[in-house]
Amino acid sequence: MTNNIYFFLLFCLICSCNNNINSDTENTIPLVDTMLVVDSIHRIKLSFVGDIMGHANQIRSAAGNRENLRSRDMKDFNYEPCFRYVKPIFKQADLMIGNLELTLSNKGKYTGYPFFKTPDVFARYLKNAGFDILTTCNNHSNDGFLYGIEHTIDVLDTLGIIHTGTFKDQNERDSLYPLIVEKEVDGTTFKLAFLNYTYGTNGIPTPSPAIVNLIEKKQMLLDIATAKKAKPDLIIAIIHWGNEYWLNEHTSQVRTTKLLWENGVDVVIGAHPHVIEPIKTDTFWREDSTGFDEKIVAYSLGNFISNQYRPNTDIGLIFELELIKNSKTNQTVIGNHNYILVWRYIFGRYNRKLREGFDWTYTAVPVTAFENDPKTALLMNEREIEAMNSVSTKMRAHLGKWQSKERIVKLEELGTIVPLIIPHNEEQKIEKKEKSEKQDNKKEKGNKEENFESKKTTS
Ligand SMILES: [Zn+2]
């Protein structure tokens, strides 16, 4: 009997608990409120790449032949293949951002390292590929001296590419820096502040009256204060720093990141080492003490496109970062973030029949989209497949130490795949050569057979 009462009481207790759970759930999150919460959450997707380089062989590749190398006619250069397989990924971003590590020129004397002067039309291809913002502040900002700084700014302005980091003079810096970008996504406007600094300019002094932003604590703190006055949703700093070819961040990068984070910068994106360095996060008290915020740093995104051959310089990241704005509280926080591995592929590099540079094709390959079939469209040979696979595996393991997420890009995401082809003239030349070689072989074979036959008849 006592047992029955006990079970009855237990049954009542469970029922009342269930009722409580149901009624609590209904009371605390009514349907209408749920919709309001969902409606007040807005997202923007930012994508970043690292160093966009302009080495001599890249210029030769775009020119296609020696005569075009000094051309002032921008139609003589083609950079389309560089972006062919990443363009659809770039277009998925609400803002696409990269570091332009070269100066633009229309003077006909285009050069690679150590003074990067790339034909103006390269910027048009960047625009077409989907770049919205380019940072111009790096150790190569002064490669074209005053002309280079001013002309690069003019070309980007003409094309409507937003840029920051270098300025024609103090007045321009005062009125345009920090860069404030207002971007509307699905009816919600995100107001973002961008900062851009470099450790130096390869010993080339910045020609007066131009300005190249340097990593200087006092100036950076003043700039952050100016940015805050504009009341941005978030502050993003893009920094050119670190040690070349180091896979891990230098202590100076850690120090600068901490300084920026502690003073209100939320996102720090780095480049210059030409290799990938870790992506790390930390949590900080909000300045208004309403809670914690996550802050993020990508110490180096590596090269986007270049002609560098040192270990690990042939791979870089597209870093995708989601920002989430709550329009009810007016707070913006860091949401999902992931990386896409992009391998710099030089099609034709190992074909001895082709002319170095002129007949090569530089292209940025999203690894996951092509690693199952690198031959059909990309015509990779075994050596190239091995190079792409081994550096990708290495970088996955490296970034995995800090739990960075890789996004798998499916081939279907890239739309119609236009395969690479050997430059038309060269293809014909090679075909002709191979044909005549075959004919020569045939003739030779025929002669030998003839001789054999004649020998046979004579013997
Ligand atoms: Zn650099």
Ligand 1 centre to CA of 52 (Å) is 10
Ligand 1 centre to CA of 274 (Å) is 7
pLDDT computed for residue 451 by the predictor: 45
Cβ burial of 162 (10 Å; 0-12, 13-18, 19+) is middle
Ligand 1 centre to CA of 179 (Å) is 21
On whether residue 453 sits in a domain, the answer given is: no
Alpha-carbon distance 257 to 296, whole Å? 9
pLDDT computed for residue 6 by the predictor: 47
On whether residue 450 sits in a domain, the answer given is: no
Catalogue the E-assigned strands of 188-330: 188-198, 211-212, 234-240, 267-271, 276-285, 292-301, 303-305, 315-326
On whether residue 261 sits in a domain, the answer given is: yes
Ligand 1 centre to CA of 140 (Å) is 7
| Segments in the chain below pLDDT 50 | 1-36, 428, 448-459
On whether residue 442 sits in a domain, the answer given is: no
On whether residue 124 sits in a domain, the answer given is: yes
Residue numbers of the domain that contains 171:
39-424
Ligand 1 centre to CA of 139 (Å) is 5
Ligand 1 centre to CA of 241 (Å) is 7
pTM for this predicted structure = 0.85
Ligand 1 centre to CA of 351 (Å) is 30
Sign of CA dihedral 172, 140, 213, 129: positive
Tell me the CATH number at 171: 3.60.21.10
Coil vs helix vs strand at 142: coil
CB 234 within 8 A of CB 265: no
pLDDT computed for residue 18 by the predictor: 39
Number of Cβ within 10 Å of residue 168's Cβ equals 16
pLDDT computed for residue 454 by the predictor: 39
On whether residue 436 sits in a domain, the answer given is: no
pLDDT computed for residue 1 by the predictor: 40
- Our count of domains for the chain comes to 1
pLDDT computed for residue 422 by the predictor: 74
E strand or H helix that includes residue 91: none
Ligand 1 centre to CA of 100 (Å) is 10
On whether residue 435 sits in a domain, the answer given is: no
Alpha-carbon distance 392 to 395, whole Å? 5
Ligand 1 centre to CA of 333 (Å) is 30
On whether residue 32 sits in a domain, the answer given is: no
